[in-house]
Structure 1
């Protein structure tokens, strides 16, 4: 069984799958972490393109299209990768592979056997997997557990009985929701959650944010039972902070400024007309 993600990142772990396969792995580092996975002879590891950091000399890396990942034609058409990195140990001795998180993130070992064999996650959260794990990218999120628009947040499903590694930016919190328990969270902060959670998505006062500024948050209402993993620093929020710090402020970079000015002129016009009408009366 995979060790919980909140244990010491320097402690080596051993994962035992339901097929009696044993995989040893070690999570290195404190923030921008690396997971080092031991591969026996002829064992394979599937990873996201660009995630491999280092590997032993007996490991062979191939960039292959895997049909069972069900990546979809539309993702390829709009520039998304439909291939995966397959790392196989061709030597007689044990080898190792180091998979790195693409951002300041914590790596979460997820034993799918503990979550009913499937879990939903953000498409950028998946790093790699061993044993029986399939990645379904074109998730149809119209069943009863999801409202319209939820597919914008969670687009990927992991199915199987193996071990998957996910990356959560910043600090990661695991919440176990009891039946009927409700949790409200910023939707972009959700790394992954079980399919048993009822998910409802809504905007957080969009007109008020247009007038007074601020980002338009998508608030998700989660109802148990189930498990959800929450990240403190989602990548879109981090990239926005970096862009604001680097780019010089201007009217062109702040289109909401024109809407605010137009609204102020409209309110001033309404107040003047109202005062004239009241004065005539």
Structure 2
């Protein structure tokens, strides 16, 4: 076991948070801004990259942190270490409505590939890197872009996604097609590609976009029902300046009430 072995508990339904229990000397890493609360005695430290390796010198750390920039993440992550003698707790909150998925990487072949903004927190020692898609079609047209995140190690990692989450286990050769934005994560052996929607009318008027993701087993795939991009586009479309309702019963009215509009 190279990663710290942490215990955890997930609270809530649609706006969840995960509470991690740290024994003395144990550490958990998390994305900047995800902290909800922590006990006295936990030390915070900001580090380049994921802090999974202490070697390599400054240049190695800069290169590791620079990879995170390609996935749209911050250069820095935060480490939370229990420096007291008893057990301590630290909690991390979901950034938007959805579910937190706990993943034991030792049970998933030591590697999970996920969408670039899905990672929430993990035991120290889990490496958070980038995964280049082998096929250009997946890169240029996939909802998650050419680059996805990879989580490697043998410890616990926590991934967040929107809406309801379903896990599909694919047998060898079994294929499933999903909306590109609904893909959350997959195990290392799943073959991932992008296919164009067949038929001009379906492509132009189907309302589902021009492309969908094709995943071929064996392996496991996690799928979300509400990608954040879809949620954001609906909220944006409902705003008054974009033609949405301006009445008190609409979203525009809610914004007026919150903003104290007179």
TM-score norm. by structure 2 comes to 0.78
User: The residue matched to 2:106 in structure 1 has which SS?
Assistant: helix
1:141: how far off?
2.0
Uncovered stretches (5+) of structure 1, i.e. residues with no partner? 1-17, 251-281
C-alpha spacing 1:20/1:186, structure 2 compared with 1 (3 Å): closer
Q: Which residue of 1 aligns with 2:228?
A: 235
Q: In 2, Cα distance between the equivalents of 1:72 and 1:171? A: 32
Uncovered stretches (5+) of structure 2, i.e. residues with no partner? 50-60, 244-262
Q: In 2, Cα distance between the equivalents of 1:239 and 1:208? A: 26
Q: In 1, Cα distance between the equivalents of 2:3 and 2:208? A: 48
1:85: how far off?
0.9
Contact 1:197/1:226 (8 A) holds in 2: yes
Alignment of 1:25-44 (within 5 A): 25-44=8-27
Q: Which residue of 1 aligns with 2:170?
A: 177
Q: In 1, Cα distance between the equivalents of 2:224 and 2:31? A: 20
Q: CA RMSD in A?
A: 2.8
Q: In 2, Cα distance between the equivalents of 1:19 and 1:55? A: 25
C-alpha spacing 1:206/1:95, structure 2 compared with 1 (3 Å): farther
C-alpha spacing 1:98/1:206, structure 2 compared with 1 (3 Å): farther
Q: Which residue of 2 aligns with 1:218?
A: 211
Contact 1:188/1:218 (8 A) holds in 2: no
TM-score norm. by structure 1 comes to 0.73
Q: Which residue of 2 aligns with 1:10?
A: none
1:199: how far off?
1.1
Range moving further from structure 2, 170-179 or 112-121: 112-121
Contact 2:138/2:146 (8 A) holds in 1: no
User: The residue matched to 2:173 in structure 1 has which SS?
Assistant: coil
Q: In 1, Cα distance between the equivalents of 2:75 and 2:3? A: 31
Q: Which residue of 1 aligns with 2:64?
A: 70
Q: In 2, Cα distance between the equivalents of 1:214 and 1:245? A: 18
Question: Taking CA–CA contacts closer than 8 Å with sequence separation of 6 or more, which of the two structures ends up with the larger relative contact order?
Answer: 2
Alignment of 1:1-281 (within 5 A): 18=1, 22-66=5-49, 67=61, 70-72=64-66, 75=69, 80-137=73-130, 139-142=131-134, 147-149=138-140, 150=142, 152=145, 155-204=148-197, 208=201, 212=205, 214=207, 216-249=209-242
CA deviation profile, 1:26-52 (whole Å, cap 9, x unmatched):
100011101000011111110011111
C-alpha spacing 1:91/1:153, structure 2 compared with 1 (3 Å): same
How many residue pairs get aligned? The number is 230
